[in-house]
Structure 1
Amino acid sequence: MAEQQGAAKPPSGRHRAPGPADIDGVPGRPADAPDGPGQGREAAPPEGDRHDTAPLRTRPGTGAPAQPDGGAPAGQQEPAKLRIGQQPVRPVMSDTTPPPIEPLSPEQPGPLKAARTLWILSFVAGLVAAAVAYLGREAQLESLQTRIADLDPGRGTDVVEAAASMVLYGSLGAIGLLILLELLFLRALVRRRGWARVALFVVTVVHAVVTVVVQEFLAAPGADGAAVRWLLIGQLLLACAAFVAACLPKVGAWLRS
């Protein structure tokens, strides 16, 4: 009885031998069994051939094929990774043309340097003469009032005092204006402006006329006004010498270069 029961008991699936109904390695599937979900598909390729059947990936924005591990496309060099604290490499400029460099002007000739020095000394002499005349203005105003009253005795005292003050301070202003004009035109000459020499010639002529007129009002007669008078004359002589030095051929060639 035990032998019959053991014969009637179906064999376990673990120890069952594969039969003819096993298809595609699925045990117990009949040949005419309908395909269910996930069944009836083609067999998966071997592990070694899966990368050949996968679709080709491209690098975004370039169209170049990417490496399977996500690296740089084939034929391109992988960009170097920066270390912490390392400065990135500056890209090369597309235009390698160097910027234009303004050529240096030639060195100033010796006569021009001498003319500049003489003009500076002329400015100093004029400023000192104006300062001395201003410090002694009280005595000079009295002298001017006397001279104006002698010319027109009928004028009142207030008018005479106002006229004397106007003449004195007008003379001081004329000296200051001459110094300013000569300084501006000298600056233009140093900057290689050829027209500056013509302007300096005109100013020098005016300077000579102003010196003759102004020294009569600023310098007192006799020894009292000798300091102011000689300072004004020295200013004029220095300005004339400076203009002559600025007209030498070397200065002209420097201006034309």
Structure 2
Amino acid sequence: MFRKFLPVIAALLLVPVGAAAQEADPQAEIDQTRQRREELNAELDVLRASDVDLQRESERLEGVVRQHEEAAATAQANLAEVEASLGSLEADVREAQRLTERRKALLRERAIAAYVRPSTESFSSVLTAEDYDEAHRKTTLLAEVAEHDADVLRAKQDAEAMLLDAKTRFKAAVDEAARLRAEADAELASATAARDRHAEVQLALETRIGEFQREADLLSAHEGQLVSLIMAKATPSTTAEV
């Protein structure tokens, strides 16, 4: 609003005192200056209020930047912890895979052995036993063979379950690392955007202050010129009276 008065004030400052004395009535100049001053004061009030608002926004954005930077730092710290655990989890997966392969091999060996060298003891041989002691011995042997086979199968199943658990934990850690990395990147991007916005607001604030100072300087210079004009007009009258 006040910018429209800047050319007027600048033009007045360029008018020589003598020319102003000839072309303008001092009282009219004073009245115009007072009116212009009132308008300027109103504009300056708006400007000061705007400066206050800009300062509040600047402070708010500084807080936003800090929040995003803190959130990014937290996400990065969590990411570092997860990434540090990946090595251990990978080792767990490798060990579980090794154990699973070993248990599978044992199970294959047992199956091949049972096929190539079937046990001479079977349930029919128990039925044909000549006495109770022989039948008990054969029954015990069959139970031991069956239990051994069951142990081998259970060990293989346990190894597979361990491998599945290790892979699940490893995948969860990888997914969490990706999530935290994306979160940290997003927070840093938000902090950068907020910082850029803060710089824009700060520049606007400084620009307003500069405009205020220039307007104040122009007004002061114009008032001084008016005073000189009035004094120049009053001097001949004083001389004539003497």
Q: Do they fold alike, i.e. is TM over 0.5?
A: no
Specify which structure has the higher proportion of helix: 2
With normalisation by structure 1, the TM-score equals 0.25
Length-normalised TM-score, structure 2: 0.26
- Structure with higher Rg: it is 1
By relative contact order (CA 8 Å, sep 6+), the higher-ranking structure is 2
